[in-house]
Chain A
Amino acid sequence: MLRLRMPLFRLLVFAGALLPFALLVMDAFGGRLGPDPGERLTERLGLLAFQCLLVTLFMTPLSRWTGSPVWIRVRRMLGLFAFFYAVLHLLAFLQFVIGWEDLWVAFTKRPYIVFGTIALLLMCPLAITSTRGMMRRLGRSWKPLHRLIYPALVFAWLHFLWQARSDVGEMMAYAVIAIVLLVVRVYWFGWRTLVPLRRA
């Protein structure tokens, strides 16, 4: 029964994760991104990447709570969506916000950009090793490597926090969600399972 439902479920998740992108493209073509559309586009892509990261991290607790493995089977796809949105976010930032100028200064001197860059760099090996073949090849190292998602999440959050200029309420809400997601893991699996690159 699960076999029948799985492709449909995956398709739904795929559509759900792509929907915000479709809406964004429609807003862009419909001129609904305001007078500074590049900035808005960049912001929304960045937020989508961060939200996808959180949703990805929800899959393990969900499968435990529901006792169903379907969540784990869409986890990789969601993680790749986070990467997809993060890459688009970076490209939009370069194209619309800093205009490909002063790149060295921007990426070394401005802490919020540095944090965002680190988050994206941490996600790169995860995206590259997300295929079944790579999973097989890495064997027991695969899981510790993919725990890099935790520092990526922290750096992405700092990247947002550093930009919050006067009101950090939204970032605090995200922090609560992120902390809950990390704490349940510590509770279930021990804190060692949060440490990346080390075989537990």
Chain B
Amino acid sequence: MLIKKRPSWALNHSEVTPESVFRSRRRFMAGLAATAVAGSLLPRFSVAAPAPVQGQSLPFTPMPDFSTDEEKTPFRDVTHYNNFYEFGTGKEDPSRYAGEMVVDPWSVTVEGECDRPGTYSIDDLVKPLDYEERIYRLRCVEAWSMVIPWIGIPLADLIKRFEPNSRAKYVYFETLQDPEHMRGQRSVFSTIDWPYREGLRMDEAMNELSFMAFGLYGKALPKQNGAPMRLVVPWKYGFKSIKSIVRIRFQETQPETSWNMIAPQEYGFYSNVNPEVDHPRWSQKRERRLPSSLLSTNWIDTRKFNGYGEQVAHLYKGMDLKKYY
């Protein structure tokens, strides 16, 4: 008898969108496409993904194959419990102060080992693509976790458009640096050498799970969550999912990453979720799934690669994950 192991992210059949609904959406999309063709006869008309605008909804296609059916962390908690040290180190500082950040207009500089470097406006980046919704787990290195419905595009689709060359072994990301509007960057006692930096190995970046988010809960990303665009790499600790990206660079050498620069013995370049490797300050064996309450702390066991091993474990074959933490 063939026993097929259900992938961890798989949904029950009861949750599958009925065919009629699916087809009606298909028809709708086909209609849109027809409009687009007609529209293309007119000068400069597009129906593809619109650039995110603060507070506005984004059109998207749900991706059940890339979504967990665990209970989602409420919108209020996702947007009021953040680590975004550009606005302060308190969990509520980002929701309080991120409003000062200017996200419109926004452009991203693409550089390094690729054939299409340049400065892209956010419209340029999203226009040829369609938004997907993926419900991912987010595991913070501080031993708490959330379940968040992100709206965005596969990172691989975005990267392919820049045509990285064969020397592109790593991709580097950088957050906006704007001390005038980011009060955390003005602090003289900060140990972070701004701007905030992150990076992935090229095969990690091209993995099907890697996602560039432009929204959450169906709307444009709130500023405190990294508007207008942020990385989401769900099998790594949250700090790898860099926010408010202004620079993407393809490079041959492993990039410097902010937390690794501050405390290399605590934060490795890879920082894959791994209950077997403890952080010096927190055990990583368990996590508090938020929201937690005083009556039930909501402890759950942390899973290796945050439960996404099926998709990503092969990336680290033969690597000693205790050494490359």
Contacts and interface: CB of A to CB of B under 8 A. Distances in A.
B283 A38 contact: no
Interface string A98-128: 1101100110011110000000000000000
Interface stretch (B149-157, B184-192, B308-316): B184-192
Interface residues of A, number: 30
Nearest to A109: B280
B286 A167 contact: no
B294 A99 contact: no
Contact of A101 (B77, B262, B278, B283): B283
B281 A112 contact: yes
Contacts of B278: 105
Contacts, number: 80
A40 B144 CA distance: 13
A187 B85 CA distance: 40
B89 A36 contact: no
A91 to B, nearest CB: 12
A38 B288 contact: yes
A156 interface: no
Given A105-B283, A166-B262, A36 B188 contact: no
A47 B92 CA distance: 17
A191 B257 CA distance: 45
Given A101-B286, A166-B85, A34 B80 contact: yes
B45 interface: no
A130 B269 CA distance: 51
Interface string B179-212: 0000010011111100000000000000000000
Interface string A140-167: 0000000000000000000000011111
Contacts of A190: none
Contacts of B188: 169
B281 A168 contact: no
Given A36-B292, A96-B294, A172-B189, A164 B283 contact: no
Contact of A168 (B144, B189, B297, B299): B189
Contact of A38 (B80, B85, B294): B294
Contact of A41 (B77, B288, B294): B294
B281 A169 contact: no
Nearest to A28: B294
Interface in A46-73: none
Interface string B272-296: 0000001011010110101111100
B283 A36 contact: no
A34 B85 contact: no
Scoring B144, B283, B286 by chain A CB atoms within 10 A of each residue's CB, the highest score goes to B283
Given A36-B291, A99-B297, A105-B283, A166 B77 contact: no
A37 B291 CA distance: 9
A122 B128 CA distance: 65
A35 interface: yes
A98 B187 CA distance: 31
B247 interface: no
A101 B288 CA distance: 13
A36 B81 contact: yes
Contacts of A102: 283, 285
A165 B89 contact: yes
A129 to B, nearest CB: 34
A165 B281 CA distance: 11
Given A36-B292, A166-B85, A168-B191, 11 more contacts: A34-B81, A35-B74, A36-B290, A37-B294, A99-B299, A101-B286, A109-B280, A110-B280, A165-B89, A165-B262, A167-B85
Interface of A: 28, 33-41, 95-96, 98-99, 101-102, 105-106, 109-112, 163-169, 172
16 contacts: A28-B294, A35-B290, A35-B291, A35-B292, A36-B91, A38-B292, A38-B294, A41-B294, A95-B297, A99-B297, A102-B285, A105-B278, A166-B191, A167-B85, A167-B191, A168-B191
Interface of B: 73-74, 77, 80-81, 85, 88-89, 91-92, 144, 184, 187-192, 262, 278, 280-281, 283, 285-286, 288, 290-294, 297, 299
